[in-house]
């Protein structure tokens, strides 16, 4: 049903993409589009600590060091697969590079700073592991091939099946270099949905041939907020789009209809976060409601150098609104599959800012590579899984510097994460989730020290490195991997649900053919679909999605690579 106005619930990438396509493909006026959101960046954030509102900080302890930088998560791009994202970024000007689109900016930077990781995996006593040796045996290969070759129409056979269940007769898989690299590149866990793993195998199958070096990874010039979100915000504001921040949509008004399954939004209950006041926003017949129904950074909290991030037990605000819609209509998915079991989705990340390059130089020496080339993962030297197997302790990304436009020349910024935050540190003997920023820095120094235990050990410089730290911000994200949680295909709503007259769903918790989630690609495409639908643009005009799983040459290369 064609509309002329839109209310956006959530101001992340997917809804901003929808707004750009409504303006450029639907020829809408920007003044007819209004965003409501708790913030105006979604999960693609990044900035100085003062840029984040008080709700994220540990309220039990006053912060004594409100300085440094924060990026709650990190994003890696892939031009070969992220075709909708690159189309979007080619439509808007860069926020930092005059005369370039945001896509040209990223391509220009990436062309001069190619990714080539030579220290993808590291282990105490062994140093840099040869990730080129994937370590797969014949049973591993057979089961991986089964996923790669499974037709799309048979995908529902994997409903409610975890990766662990799919490989239940093959525990060896989870001790291979391939798995260690795959889980930390894409953030899978063995409890994650094997349906999602299958989709990654289909769309990222060419990564078999290069995963140890990450040569397929493309990076933005700066953090994702300044290189992707800020260009979108600037463009949309210039077009007259309205952004209303510090607002949470808490409930719906739906029309009563002779068709009980017809979905027509007539009003939205909107709460002002600053003063707790509420208003009812009326939705008329000409208005579409485009809703991002889940966020991986909902309920996220931050600590600082001396304070761990607190656990916020609040059910995600966007998922709570999604759940209220599912209480009324039967075909809108199952939010509890993703947001009711934190143990399978929680992460802890950290952003470390230093006032000199001592730590950066030590990492460069140990990994033998310059900043901007790597995702380094540290393997445990002792068994840590329930099966008594080794696994990855922590991972870090050392960005090309500066990572923020306001970063001083003497400052370094490093980002890292713990995929299993309830595990205990090897050097700081407490769970990662309970560590302060200082303790996470000490754990990092310890992990680096066991990789390079010689006379120039980084431990010799520990006091000096700690003294160089401006801040290290721990971030607890209870839903960071929620989109990978085990589920059935029907547990995510369609972008345009059946019988919906004016409501669309966007983001990483919607169902789209062939798309793998946890990517800017799937988020952008969902917004594109919603925009085309409400603007009356034929779906044939959507950007073509590449299918590398259908390419014989790619499959042949991947098959050969399995035997390395």
What values do phi and psi take at 91, rounded to 5?
-95, -5
Its sign, for the CA torsion 358, 361, 363, 365, is negative
How many Å apart are CA 208 and CA 562, to the nearest integer?
7
Active site residues: 200
Query: Can you read off the two tokens belonging to residue 11?
Result: 């101001």
The torsion of the CA quartet 246, 77, 405, 528, rounded to 10 degrees, works out to -40
What values do phi and psi take at 476, rounded to 5?
-95, 125
204-214 burial code (b ≥16 CB/10 A, e <16): bbbbbbbbbbb
Query: Can you read off the two tokens belonging to residue 285?
Result: 């017949």
How many Å apart are CA 323 and CA 306, to the nearest integer?
37
What values do phi and psi take at 269, rounded to 5?
-85, 120
Nearest to 340 by CA among 309, 319, 326, 311: 319
Cβ atoms of 401 and 407 closer than 8 Å = yes
DSSP 8-state secondary structure symbol assigned to residue 333:
-
Look at phi and psi of residue 127 and say left if phi exceeds 0, alpha if psi is from -120 to 50, else beta.
Answer: left
CA gyration radius, the chain: 23
């Amino acid at each position: 049903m064609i509309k002329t106005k839109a209310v956006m619930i959530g101001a992340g990438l997917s809804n901003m993409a929808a707004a750009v396509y409504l303006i450029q493909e639907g020829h809408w006026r920007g003044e007819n589009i209004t965003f409501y959101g708790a913030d105006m960046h979604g999960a693609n954030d990044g900035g100085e600590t003062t840029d984040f509102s008080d709700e994220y900080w540990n309220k039990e302890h006053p912060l004594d060091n409100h300085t440094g930088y924060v990026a709650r998560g990190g994003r890696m791009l892939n031009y070969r697969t992220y075709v909708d994202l690159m189309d979007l970024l080619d439509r808007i000007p860069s926020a930092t590079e005059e005369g370039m689109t945001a896509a040209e900016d990223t391509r220009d930077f990436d062309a001069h700073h190619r990714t080539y990781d030579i220290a993808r995996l590291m282990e105490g006593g062994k140093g840099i592991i040869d990730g080129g040796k994937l370590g797969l045996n014949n049973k591993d290969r057979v089961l991986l091939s089964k996923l790669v070759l499974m037709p799309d129409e048979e995908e529902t056979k994997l409903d409610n099946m975890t990766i662990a269940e799919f490989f239940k007769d093959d525990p060896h898989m989870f001790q291979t270099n391939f798995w260690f690299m795959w889980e930390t590149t894409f953030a899978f866990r063995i409890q994650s949905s094997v349906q999602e793993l299958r989709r990654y195998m289909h769309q990222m199958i060419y990564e078999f041939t290069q995963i140890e070096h990450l040569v397929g990874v493309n990076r933005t010039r700066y953090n994702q907020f300044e290189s992707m979100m800020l260009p979108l915000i600037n463009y949309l504001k210039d077009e007259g789009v309205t952004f209303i921040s510090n607002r949470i949509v808490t409930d719906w008004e739906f029309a009563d209809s002779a068709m009980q399954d017809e979905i027509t939004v007539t009003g939205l209950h909107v709460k002002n976060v600053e003063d707790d006041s509420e208003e009812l926003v009326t939705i008329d017949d000409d208005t579409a409601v485009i809703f991002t129904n889940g966020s991986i950074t909902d309920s996220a909290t931050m600590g600082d150098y001396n304070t761990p991030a607190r656990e916020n037990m609040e059910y995600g605000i966007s998922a709570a609104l999604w759940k209220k819609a599912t209480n009324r209509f039967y075909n809108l998915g199952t939010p509890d599959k993703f947001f009711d079991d934190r143990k399978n989705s929680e992460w802890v990340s950290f952003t470390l800012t230093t006032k000199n390059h001592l730590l950066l130089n030590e990492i460069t020496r140990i990994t033998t590579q310059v900043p901007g080339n790597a995702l380094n993962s540290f393997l445990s030297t002792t068994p840590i899984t329930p099966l008594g197997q080794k696994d990855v302790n922590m991972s870090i990304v050392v960005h090309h510097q500066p990572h923020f436009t306001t970063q001083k020349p003497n400052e370094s910024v490093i980002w890292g994460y713990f995929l299993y935050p309830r595990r205990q540190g090897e050097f700081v003997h407490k769970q990662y989730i309970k560590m302060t920023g200082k303790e996470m820095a000490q754990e990092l120094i310890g992990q680096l020290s066991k990789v390079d235990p010689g006379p120039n050990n980084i431990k010799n410089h520990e006091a000096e490195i700690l003294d160089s730290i401006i801040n290290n911000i721990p971030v607890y994200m209870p839903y960071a991997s929620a989109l990978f949680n085990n589920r059935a295909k029907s547990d995510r709503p369609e972008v345009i649900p059946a019988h919906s007259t004016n409501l669309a769903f966007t983001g990483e918790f919607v169902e789209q053919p062939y798309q793998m989630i946890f990517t800017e690609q799937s988020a952008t495409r969902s917004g594109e679909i919603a925009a085309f639908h409400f603007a009356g643009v034929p779906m044939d005009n959507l950007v073509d999605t590449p299918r590398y799983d259908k390419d014989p040459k790619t499959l042949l290369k991947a098959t050969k690579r399995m035997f390395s």
